[in-house]
Amino acid sequence: MQPGPGTTLMDAGERAPDGTLAEGGAELRRRRREQRRNRRRYLWLSLLLRRSWDWEVASERARLTGVTVGTEVRLHSGVTFGGDPWLISIGDGTWITSGVMFINHDGSLIVPAAVAGDRRRLWHGREITVGRNCFVGVRAVIMPGVHIGDETIIGAASVVTRDVPARAIVAGNPARVVGSVDELVEQLDSWAMPAGWPSDRSQFKDDAAMWRACRALATRNPS
């Protein structure tokens, strides 16, 4: 039995082989009430996100499905966490952009299982860990068992099939290392910015104000 929205890691980990919760009586009833509340909250947050996307609301909705989400994580629209969201962990300050897909179990195992006549190993989820201050590009696919180190960049549409070391830049299908964040840092000083471009974000009230100023400069000085 696959837990649905609102099932936490603790709920999923304490299920009996027949799919029911191992505890009984009052504890079981309490768990069910909590799951119903979480499902209602999940649906309410989903409605809010339909009207106006908000990273904090998106993170809270992901937590309700069982994903471990750090602080200041930015989840964009269209991110999916597969059938085992409680196996996914996202570190502080990480950006997960639109359409990123986490796959934490291999459904293709149904074929060899059917050939061998043995379905006992069919459902085999594997953990996925994304470190701190990472950036995962649009429509990247993170495969089962992958661990991504801190401060890494995953290119758009990459298919990540193996672990990624800290501060690496990877891209492609399958993803491979194409550079390092340290090399990128060394290049920053050589990048010429348009005249008047803000150099210190602290002068703005918030990110929205900074981007409005940048957009106005870009409009007045098109490249």
140 is a domain residue: yes
Q: Is the distance from CB of 175 to CB of 165 less than 8 angstroms?
A: no
User: Would the pTM count as exceeding 0.85?
Assistant: no
81 is a domain residue: yes
Q: Tell me the per-residue pLDDT of 62-119, one tens digit each, with 9 for 90 and over.
A: 998 889 999 999 999 889 998 889 899 999 999 999 999 999 887 777 787 788 877 6
Q: Tokens 């300050």 map to which residue?
A: 93
Confidence of residue 121 (pLDDT cuts 50, 70, 90): low
**Residues 175 and 142 occupy one common structural domain:** yes
**Residues 213 and 138 occupy one common structural domain:** no
**Residues 57 and 156 occupy one common structural domain:** yes
pLDDT above 70 coverage of the chain, percent: 76
**Residues 23 and 60 occupy one common structural domain:** yes
**Residues 60 and 81 occupy one common structural domain:** yes
120 is a domain residue: yes
Stretch 169-197: mean pLDDT, rounded? 85
Q: How many domains does the chain have?
A: 2
Q: Which of 9-18, 70-79, 192-201 has the lowest mean pLDDT?
A: 9-18
Q: Tell me the per-residue pLDDT of 28-73, one tens digit each, with 9 for 90 and over.
A: 677 777 777 777 777 777 776 666 677 888 888 899 888 999 999 9
**Residues 109 and 161 occupy one common structural domain:** yes
Distance CA 213, CA 146 (A): 39
What is the helix (H) or strand (E) element at residue 102, kind and residue range? Answer: strand 101-102
**Residues 178 and 69 occupy one common structural domain:** yes
**Residues 214 and 115 occupy one common structural domain:** no
Structural domain span for residue 204: 192-223
**Residues 112 and 217 occupy one common structural domain:** no
Distance CA 125, CA 161 (A): 15
Confidence of residue 193 (pLDDT cuts 50, 70, 90): low
3 is a domain residue: no
68 is a domain residue: yes
User: With 90 as the cut, is the pLDDT of residue 132 above it?
Assistant: yes
**Residues 121 and 222 occupy one common structural domain:** no
74 is a domain residue: yes
**Residues 130 and 217 occupy one common structural domain:** no
**Bridge partners for 177 per DSSP:** 170
CATH number of the domain where residue 29 is located = 2.160.10.10
**Residues 107 and 203 occupy one common structural domain:** no
Instruction: Say how many C-beta atoms besides its own lie within 10 A of residue 151's C-beta.
Output: 19
Q: Which of 101-110, 137-146, 162-171, 195-204 has the lowest mean pLDDT?
A: 195-204
